[in-house]
Chain A
């Protein structure tokens, strides 16, 4: 057995230690260390994904201890995909971050990279682990590091946003922990596969019901499902842009992964859709989340804030799909984890470029931006089309599966919500395009038609943003392949 599964998580963890230590000696040393750590992690994640596709799920026992006593990493197609996604985005974002960290928080770059690595370690661990308590610990690692990151951001509003985030985050974690406690009470085990085995005989138990509900509420708080989303917009928009770029696409998506893992692996679809009678209610909740998220996004005056509300809206897509109770909906939800992570990342990369040049990104600051930053805006436009769901970008194809699932389940309200949110997103993004296309930059008249000097972000940021935006089209065109090699075999 090879050690790639462990390496995915351990490489960034070790890199975090060394980066932190190195920063004491020389601040600049921490960046290359972080780069190496994440590169190793991404490579291992790729290896593991290939291996899982070839020969099925991998069980990796930490330090050789057998479950249920020891901690087990259990990597199947679903989390192999998410692992590669997380490590890939973390690595690419690190490349783009060099310049923006330099500009935004240069005096604390060492601590930034250390916390960044710990955050990524947490996300990867959450994704890889097969142990319920270990999952809690790792969620706390990601949360604690992100509290710190938010506080590193906007000097006036960052700390308060962070405090708010801490309060709600702790509540969410406690719900989850309590749920795990109930599960342990009932089953005496913390290993997911083991728990699932024991649970399959006792579906009627009210302890299990309580455990399930507590776990779900905890996870929903962490993933910012409407109306539990209030912490998210401030926390994400006041954090440093280099961190916003990774937390926005990944944090909520990893929590969606956790929800799906709990639903499929731990409690089982049979329990959720046949024993419990909650699915309809949750799909309705998701429907409301979609509409509310899109509506709140449309009323924002700041681009970053607007995008954070779009995240709230997209969470509704995935929750609704997962709870649809059929294969198509679940396929859509899982595909959307990938697609939404990519498109949110692309959007925030573009916003990062804008922030680098413009400092603030209130909508009125974006005047004339097509002339000034054509490449950034091209990336932004592609990502926006993906959110709206224009083919052949990937956003269209996950929407395709979600709407199909909704039709099959007869949840026409959910399908309608998806269509309405596409329309609202179209309005919202074209509002931005109009500002940046029609309005001249300076106050003088007649200058709109003169050619504007191009002032782009640094090449490192542009390249990453361009690549990720292109990947939206590639992911879209190959969504058939992704569904057939990863998602459908997993759901079997």
Chain B
């Protein structure tokens, strides 16, 4: 494969890092600070997009920074998968930054400079993870991301956030040190390399039991992917301000977890090895349990953000499920769900935050009739929900379509049932919210007070409208992402 050496991936990672001192020094001037965020965010997006044509051409961009040991370096390699993830993360970062101005100022939160600084650090680490050339570099950015998001989760600095922060770290940092680290070093011990390659790195050096144990260590160890039973950090992390839940806990953090698992399965083990040992089915079972259980739990949650969190847990496992099918359609459906779910779920979180800022309401039972007051928000919520359920005209349809085709292709018809049941459950826990929002009656209506449109401020509404529109656009134009996946996985 043709490779090009370029410093662009490094710049794309560093740009939000370098802006942090500027953010801190302009902490007393919020408008200046916020404009720097946009400047950095835009540069980052432009840098990422400028690499897109080359990648679509089937080439890869590489850059080795530090050689730690032979075969283990800190290096970047931009391929189709990494590109896909980087585009999603860096474009949504800009949207979220607009949203976060509205949210943080709307609620007059404390420590805003700290908030935006760690946010920038987190996005740097996310892009770093997307562009990692090997498992070592991926692990490095994975850990930085865990640590950088801790102050964001614990932002309120009260008792609940302290407990949640503790749970967040215990699960995320604990599993990565206890499971991923030894597994990674063992891989290096056996093969002498950690570079991702579509053929895998083991080349027959691994017995089936050893491969199974290693794979499980990775699948559970990357707990950001929220595979049960290591999922409870995600609902706990909902104490964070909503922009964090929206970008980090629906897109960046959780998908770094999923992305890591996908990388390990496709780049370290290799599809052929997994198929040879018949390990796909093991991962599929684990993912199926998570998909169904999390959907059921989501049904019982009354706090909107917690319901969204459980929905995320379930949707993340779709991606892993798709990859574990080990068939081209399954891989395509799984990986493209990274994109589709990102736009759908971030819309839903934006709506939850907008409702909270405008009305102070967190619980679904309080939200009936609210759609008349906030029509844009609820319309966007509807579109986001369609995207997550997987119905047209949203991009989510495309991923579910391919996943179902994948189960047929891999001749795992029973697992198709999992997808269908889960889609029903998704509809059950989302659509009543929209229905009650538009057609239910609020307390005010019961008292016969006329309802006026009273949306949250524009900084909150514009982003959620944008992401909802993109969700629909992706239904018609998913081609770029499909091509990226085809290039990235040699499909």
Residue positions of A touching B, CB distance < 8 A: 385, 388-392, 397, 400-401, 403-404, 407-408, 415, 419, 422-423, 426, 430, 434, 437-438, 448-449, 477-481, 483
CB pair A419–B157 under 8 Å, yes or no, is no
Given contacts A400-B68, A400-B185, A480-B68, contact A438 B157 (CB under 8 A): yes
- Interface magnitude class on chain B: 35 or more
Q: A390 — nearest CB in chain B belongs to which residue?
A: B143
Cβ–Cβ contact B157 & A448, under 8 A? yes
Chain B positions 131 through 168: 1 when the CB is less than 8 Å from some CB of chain A, otherwise 0: 00000100110011001000100100110011001100
- Known: A389-B177, A397-B68; 14 extra A-B contacts, CB below 8 A, are A391-B139, A400-B185, A401-B69, A404-B185, A407-B186, A419-B178, A423-B178, A426-B169, A426-B173, A437-B151, A437-B157, A449-B111, A480-B66, A480-B68
**B151 CB contacts on chain A under 8 angstroms:** 437
Cβ distance B136 to chain A, nearest Cβ, rounded Å: 8
28 A–B contacts, CB within 8 A, in A order:
A385-B147, A389-B177, A389-B181, A390-B143, A391-B139, A391-B143, A392-B74, A397-B68, A403-B181, A404-B189, A407-B186, A415-B182, A419-B178, A426-B177, A430-B169, A434-B165, A437-B154, A438-B157, A438-B161, A438-B162, A449-B110, A449-B157, A477-B65, A480-B66, A480-B67, A480-B68, A480-B69, A483-B69
Which residues of A sit under 8 angstroms from B177, Cβ to Cβ? 388-389, 419, 422-423, 426
CB distance from B328 to the nearest CB of A (A): 34
Nearest Cβ in chain A — how far from B289, in angstroms?
26
- When distances are taken between beta carbons in the complex, the residues of chain B under 8 Å from A479 are 68
Bound state CA distance, A448 and B111, in angstroms? 11
A440 CB, min distance to chain B CBs, angstroms: 9
B174 within 8 A of A: yes
Q: Which residue of chain A has the shortest Cβ distance to B161 in the bound complex?
A: A438
| Residues of A contacting B: mostly | helix
Closest to A408 in B: B189
Q: Return the chain B residue nearest A402 by Cβ.
A: B185
B338 smallest CB distance to A (angstroms): 24
A37 shortest CB reach to chain B, Å:
36
Set of chain A residues within 8 Å of B161, measured between Cβ atoms: 438
B66:A478 contact, CB within 8 angstroms: yes
State how many angstroms separate the Cβ of B353 from the closest Cβ of chain A. 20
Are B181 and A419 in contact, with the CB atoms below 8 A? yes
CB contact under 8 A between A403 and B140, given known A390-B147, A392-B74, A479-B68: no
Q: Is B376 an interface residue (CB 8 A)?
A: no
Find the B residue at minimum CB distance from A477. B66
Closest to B111 in A: A449
Q: Is B415 interfacial (CB-CB < 8 Å)?
A: no
B38 CB-CB contact with A under 8 Å: no
What B residues does A426 contact at CB under 8 A? 169, 173-174, 177
Which residues of the partner chain A approach B144 to less than 8 Å between Cβ atoms? 390-391
Q: Chain B: which residue is nearest A431 at the CB level?
A: B166
A478–B68 CA distance with the chains assembled, in angstroms: 7
Query: Contacts A385-B147, A392-B140, A483-B69 known; A403 to B185 CB distance under 8 Å?
Result: yes
Cα distance, A449 to B66, chains bound together (Å): 41
* Residues of A contacting B158 in the complex (Cβ-Cβ under 8 angstroms): 438
Determine the distance from Cα of A155 to Cα of B228 in the docked complex, in whole angstroms: 55
Least CB distance, A410 to chain B, in whole angstroms = 11
**Cβ–Cβ < 8 Å partners of B68 in chain A:** 397, 400, 479-480
Chain B residues whose C-beta falls within 8 Å of the C-beta of A400 in the assembled complex: 68-69, 72, 185
- Does B356 belong to the interface (CB within 8 Å)? no
Residues of A within 8 A of B147 (CB): 385, 390
CA distance in complex: A391, B169 (Å): 16
For the complex, give the distance between the alpha carbons of A328 and B88 in Å: 41
* Cα(A403)–Cα(B178), bound, Å: 13
Task: Determine the distance from Cα of A392 to Cα of B128 in the docked complex, in whole angstroms.
Answer: 13
Contact B166 A434 (CB under 8 A): yes
Q: Which residues of A contact B111 (CB under 8 A)?
A: 449
Q: Which residues of B contact A (CB under 8 A)?
A: 65-69, 72-74, 110-111, 136, 139-140, 143-144, 147, 151, 154, 157-158, 161-162, 165-166, 169, 173-174, 177-178, 181-182, 185-186, 188-189
Find chain B residues with CB under 8 A from A483 CB: 69
From B68, B169, B178, B188, residue with most partner A Cβ within 10 Å: B68
A residues less than 8 Å from B166 (CB atoms) = 430, 434
In the complex formed, the residue of B with least CB distance to A403 is B185
What separation, in Å, do the CA atoms of A390 and B186 have in the docked complex? 18
CB atoms of B74 and A477 under 8 A apart: yes
Whether the pair B162, A434 counts as a contact (CB closer than 8 A) is yes
Could you say which residues of chain B place their CB within 8 Å of the CB of A397?
68
Report whether B154 and A438 are in contact in the complex, using a CB–CB cutoff of 8 Å: yes
Rounded to whole angstroms, the CA-CA distance of A387 and B190 in the bound complex is 26
| The 3 residue pairs across chains A and B that have the minimum distance between CB atoms | A391-B140, A407-B189, A480-B68
Residues in B with CB closer than 8 Å to A422 are 177, 181
| A448-B158 Cα distance, complex, nearest whole Å | 9
Which chain B positions have C-beta within 8 A of A481?
Answer: 67
Residue of B nearest to A425 (CB): B177
CB atoms of A403 and B182 under 8 A apart? yes
Q: Return chain A residues, CB-CB under 8 Å to B185.
A: 400, 403-404, 407, 415
Residue of A at shortest CB range from B68? Answer: A480
Q: How far is the CB of A197 from chain B (nearest CB, A)?
A: 34
Q: Which residues of B sit under 8 angstroms from A391, Cβ to Cβ?
A: 136, 139-140, 143-144
Give the shortest distance, in Å, between A477 (CB) and chain B (any CB).
5
Is A404 a contact partner of B174 (Cβ separation < 8 A)?
A: no
User: Closest CB of chain A to B134's CB: distance in Å?
Assistant: 12
Residues of A contacting B139 in the complex (Cβ-Cβ under 8 angstroms):
391
Point out the residues of chain A lying under 8 angstroms from B154, CB to CB: 437-438
Contacts of B188 in A (CB 8 A): 404
| Minimum distance in angstroms from A152 CB to a CB of chain B | 38
CB-CB under 8 A from B181, the residues of chain A are 389, 403, 419, 422
Interchain nearest-CB distance for A263 vs B (Å):
23
Residue on A nearest B66 in the bound complex, by CB: A477
- Smallest CB-CB separation from B69: which chain A residue? A480
Per the bound structure, the CA–CA distance linking A388 and B169 in Å amounts to 13
B90 to chain A, nearest CB (A): 22
Shortest CB-to-CB span from B204 to chain A, Å, is: 19
Bound form: Cα–Cα A449–B169 in Å: 23
Residues of B within 8 A of A449 (CB): 110-111, 157
Say how far B129's CB is from chain A's closest CB, in angstroms.
Answer: 12
Measured in the bound complex, the distance between the Cα atoms of B182 and A403 in whole Å is: 8
Q: Which of B136, B162, B189 has the most CB of A within 10 A?
A: B189
Residue numbers in A under 8 Å from B189 (CB-CB)? 404, 407-408
State the Cβ distance, A336 to closest chain B Cβ, in Å.
15
Q: Is the CB of A423 within 8 A of B174?
A: yes
Complex Cα distance, B161 from A408, in Å, reads 43
Q: Which residues of A contact B143 (CB under 8 A)?
A: 390-391
Write the nearest CB–CB distance from B256 to chain A, whole angstroms: 15
Q: Least Cβ distance of A356 to chain B in Å?
A: 24
Chain B residues positioned under 8 Å from A390 (CB to CB): 143-144, 147
Q: Nearest Cβ distance between residue A43 and chain B, in whole angstroms?
A: 28
B415 to chain A, nearest CB (A): 34
Q: How far is the CA of A408 from the CA of B463 in the complex (A)?
A: 53
A157–B166 Cα gap in the complex (Å)?
Answer: 36
In the assembled complex, how far is the CB of residue B121 from the closest CB belonging to chain A, in whole angstroms?
13
In the bound complex, CA of A479 to CA of B73 (Å): 11
- Closest chain B residue, CB of each to CB of A438: B162
CA distance A390 to B145 in the complex (A): 11
| A407–B65 alpha-carbon span in the complex (Å) | 27
Question: A401–B72 Cα gap in the complex (Å)?
Answer: 12
Using Cβ atoms and an 8 Å threshold, which residues of chain B touch A392?
A: 74, 140
| Whole-angstrom CA separation of A389 from B182 in the bound complex | 13
Collect the chain B residues with CB atoms within 8 Å of residue A385's CB: 147
Nearest Cβ in chain A — how far from B189, in angstroms?
4
**Complex Cα gap A415–B174 (Å):** 16
CA distance A479 to B69 in the complex (A): 9
Q: How far is the CB of B153 from chain A (nearest CB, A)?
A: 12
**Nearest CB in chain A: distance from B67 CB, A:** 5
Which residues on B sit within 8 Å (CB–CB) of A477?
65-66, 74
A72 to chain B, nearest CB (A): 35
